Amino acid sequence: MGSAFFISDVHLGGQSPKAEKVKEQKLLSFLEYVAEYGDQLFIVGDLFDFWFEYRTVIPRGYSRVLCALSELNELGKEMHYIAGNHDFWMRDFLRREFNIQLHFDDFECTIHNRRFYLFHGDGLAKKDVGYRLLKKIFRHRFNIFLYSLIHPDIGIPLAKWVSALSRSHTSSDAPPDDRDYIQAALQKFSEGFDFVIFGHLHYPNYQIYGEKVYINLGDWMRHFTYAEFDGEELSLNHWR
């Protein structure tokens, strides 16, 4: 049996052309590794810095990564995408074209008899009251419809600008305050989960509580970190 792999916060398209090229090369080599050694891939939010599916248009610039995801699908790999705060406007493209199962909130699953709780983590902190309201507004179907009426040549650059503003809040190299995340993980452990995995903070963290493990996946902008579950142990690793 192959491993289950977990990544988050790649933010394709969110950096300079030079940084994007390096990031894409690293990601493609990682996906090749998943193809060889993995059975499952969990993307825990924000693979793209911005994603909006018009009826007949998707953002350009991601063809090589999409081809790699298509290859994983052809190989029969199970893929899940837990939406993040840059993924409000997904429809059915990834599910229809690549058989990626979409989850717009948290997601629970069992792998090798171990219970996993997965959530991107946006809005989890107690101070994020305003964001939780905005999240409901952004994800409302009527508002998505209204935005779809804007021509892509205007709507996509505008949304990319908003995405950059959102990402700037997690761009610091200093460790973030993740006390609310750890508290949420402890609550899930008390409910019987073995592993809790979050993203969003862009800073990798691995904490062991007895036989339970809490992980924040970090990002693929500075840290290039991912988690792997081999059926026995859950580890947090750096992709070289």
Q: Where are the domains of the chain?
A: 3-238
**Band of pLDDT at residue 70, cut at 50, 70 and 90:** very high
What is the CATH topology of the domain spanning 3-238? Purple Acid Phosphatase; chain A, domain 2 (3.60.21)
Instruction: List the structure tokens of 156.
Output: 């996509």
* Percent of the chain at pLDDT exceeding 70: 77
Q: Which amino acid is at 169?
A: H
Closest CA to 219 of 84, 115, 125, 102: 84
Q: Is the pLDDT of residue 238 over 80?
A: yes
Instruction: List the structure tokens of 185.
Output: 């993980």
**Band of pLDDT at residue 13, cut at 50, 70 and 90:** confident
State the Cα–Cα distance between residues 76 and 228, nearest whole angstrom.
Answer: 18
Q: Which amino acid is at 140?
A: H
Question: Rounded to the nearest 10 degrees, what angle do helices 17-37 and 63-74 cross at?
Answer: 0
**Band of pLDDT at residue 124, cut at 50, 70 and 90:** confident
Closest CA to 202 of 185, 184, 223, 182: 223
CA angle 16, 18, 24 (to 5 degrees): 95
Q: What is the pLDDT of residue 163?
A: 61
**Band of pLDDT at residue 72, cut at 50, 70 and 90:** very high
Q: What is the pLDDT of residue 3?
A: 97
Contacts of 1 (CB under 8 A, 6+ apart): 39, 112, 231
Question: In the 8-state DSSP scheme, what is residue 48?
Answer: B
pLDDT digits (tens, 9 = 90+) for 182-232: 999 999 999 999 999 999 999 999 999 999 999 999 999 999 999 999 999
204 CB neighbour count, 10 Å cutoff: 20
Predicted TM-score (pTM) above 0.75: yes
**Gyration radius of the chain's alpha carbons:** 17
Give me the residues paired with residue 80 across strands: 42, 101
Q: Is the pLDDT of residue 80 over 60?
A: yes
103 CB neighbour count, 10 Å cutoff: 18
**Band of pLDDT at residue 135, cut at 50, 70 and 90:** low
Q: Which amino acid is at 214?
A: Y
**Residue found by looking up tokens 């590794």 in the block:** 33
Closest CA to 105 of 93, 127, 90: 90
Instruction: List the structure tokens of 26.
Output: 């690293």
**Band of pLDDT at residue 90, cut at 50, 70 and 90:** confident
Contact in structure between 65 and 28 (CB atoms under 8 Å): yes
Continuous segment of H or E residues that includes residue 209: strand 204-209
